[in-house]
A and B are shown apart, each in its own frame.
Chain A
């Protein structure tokens, strides 16, 4: 279709149009593109492509002949810019652009063309949620546009879900539970329109579940914490396999511990959460190969007591001992069964004053935080006896998130953002069933953050800056993690996936994130010598 035929002047002045033959019938109202109409431009939907091409040509022409600008400014006849098609035509003729002879001149790169159209869609989206349906394009364009329409609708539903989640959280915070409950119903209905296999739909589903549990079952936690220790270990193990966060934590902590143990012949590691002991084989191997030979390694693993009489801690200890024996490292293991970290007393660890001690806490310290900041809160007690052990190093790995704020809405918002990012990163994992079980592991965390309160809420994540203040106030000073740890972490991440994950160094601490949103942070600390016993007021 030649461009002159398609141009027809609508109601309005537009005298500059060189359209020769055009029928001057008014275009039917519904053919006007709705989104651009919202911005004040009248363009027929059927002409969008040509107008876009002509706009591009106009831009090139303007760029090529800047001298004509002044002429335009002074001699311009005022064309009606709301009739975009005619306006562009007239400006093009001002630049003395020769009219094209055939439509083949308009073979603009369809990709570029598409982007012009797409930006029209996305730009107008916040204003008019209704999607423009009646578009007549040639086949290829219409197919692409249908896809854009579908994506726009899904994006739209996703955005609405997020808004509704926020509103529901606000209702919960203000106590309006009936409205919150009705919102839950609406959201569950909306979920059927959204793809729940990936993306916002999946995360939203988990948050809706957690909110409904909070509203309907109270804040005791219910089934969220009801998982047995055995189940938790399995989920943890799959979380370890599916994504690099725990591997990053283990390898970084091991590197720091290895460097701290340099030159010592008797070393003692205290692990605050032994689980399957997956962190320690690498350290044992590194100690076996260190120049000067391996030290005597003692490992004290803390873990929950196992039901039905089985001693899971001892089993892990035996496995680690077998590994240590294979590589000729003198090894001794001790298990301390405690359901809460604050129940552990330093005498249970049996630390020998002559040995170098390392304390290793992978996502355990945040469990000691309570919502009230009392003087002798569990965190202070534990930190003070750690200090009493005078460890050569304390490695702390914590989620880089602010999930311990007193206000529910703030906490909810933070958690929504944090776990969306984490689920995004999990998309990269192709290994099943690890991925599904890892998701359940994360889902339990979400449930605890959102639906539990008081002592039931143990996932009280705090960001690294807060931990720095807290640990400095408790008599620790930061140790820099060093370039070896950074190099190792970078290599490890590259193994998982070349894009997406990123390691950042921040004042000696390393943080692992997804597309530069930090998700987990590792730091190392040492007790400051000659610390006064009275607590500083801070």
Chain B
């Protein structure tokens, strides 16, 4: 048995059919994508630091798109072009959707799910607009190097 294992380590093709075939997930990227599609945001970020292949897959915006719309019915296709133009779904999720959802989690009503996403989109758009201003350093609006319209989402506000 031990010899068989040793032999398999050195073989690349795996011609000898073992009673227990080794399964390496990275050989089956389609299954990997299916699994990663079902992860939540934090797990997806953790997954991105496993290896280069996982990182590449996790960066794929469509995974984050699923996360953004996980609680609502799929939006019309026009949404995708808008979101991609404004910076992509990963940015939308990490910057807006996740903090909005966690903040509203305490008082959320079931009907708010769609409105949460819409509000996130609006805030995302304001953020993109501010980033535009920062990059066009024309001497007037460079007071802040980083856009801050979403800062109230980042820092929890306690009265």
A389 at the interface (CB under 8 A from B): no
Distance in Å: Cβ of B68 to nearest Cβ of chain A? 14
B74, chain A: closest CB distance, angstroms: 14
Total A-B residue contacts, Cβ distance less than 8 Å:
113
Chain B, interface size: which category?
A: 35 or more
Asked whether any CB of chain B lies closer than 8 Å to the CB of A328, the reply is: yes
A460 CA / B133 CA spacing, docked (Å): 32
Per the CB 8 Å criterion, the residue count for chain A at the interface is 46
Q: Which residues of A contact B (CB under 8 A)?
A: 230, 234, 240-241, 244, 251, 254, 276-278, 281-282, 284-286, 288-289, 291, 293, 310, 312, 315, 319-320, 322-323, 326-328, 427-431, 434, 487-488, 491-492, 494-500
Assess the B82–A289 pair: CB atoms within 8 A. Answer: yes
Partner of A431, one of B103, B107, B151: B151
Closest residue of chain A to B112 (Cβ to Cβ) is A491
Contacting residues, chain A, for B69 (C-beta < 8 A): none
CB <8 Å contact, A278 and B81: no
> In the complex, which residues of chain B have a beta carbon less than 8 angstroms from the beta carbon of A322?
132
Contact A282 B140 (CB under 8 A): no
Cα distance A285–B106 in the bound complex, in angstroms: 28
The listed residue (A312, A427, A497) touching B140 by CB distance below 8 A is A312
For the complex, give the distance between the alpha carbons of A326 and B87 in Å: 10
Query: With contacts A428-B158, A491-B116, A491-B119 known, is A327 near B138, CB below 8 A?
Result: no
B29 located at the interface, meaning its Cβ lies under 8 Å from any Cβ of chain A in the complex: no
A300 to chain B, nearest CB (A): 18
Given contacts A291-B76, A494-B103, 4 further A-B pairs with CB under 8 A are A278-B129, A278-B149, A327-B81, A430-B158
Q: Report yes or no: B82 in contact with A285, Cβ–Cβ below 8 A.
A: yes
Q: Which of A241, A291, A428, A430 contacts B149 (CB 8 A)?
A: A241
Interface of A is mostly: helix
A499 touches B82 (CB 8 A): no
B132 partner, pick from A286, A310, A319, A428, beta carbons under 8 A: A319
Stretch of B10-18, B43-51, B52-60, B120-128 with 4 or more beta carbons under 8 angstroms from chain A = B120-128
Q: Which residues from chain B contact A487 at a C-beta distance below 8 Å?
A: 112, 115
Contact A288 B151 (CB under 8 A): no
Are the CB atoms of A282 and B126 closer together than 8 Å?
yes
Question: By the criterion CB–CB under 8 Å, are B119 and A323 in contact?
Answer: no
Could you jot down 26 A-B contacts, CB within 8 Å?
A: A230-B140, A234-B143, A240-B149, A251-B122, A276-B133, A278-B126, A281-B125, A282-B125, A288-B78, A289-B76, A289-B79, A293-B78, A315-B136, A315-B140, A323-B128, A323-B129, A326-B86, A326-B128, A429-B157, A434-B151, A491-B104, A494-B104, A494-B107, A495-B119, A499-B159, A500-B159
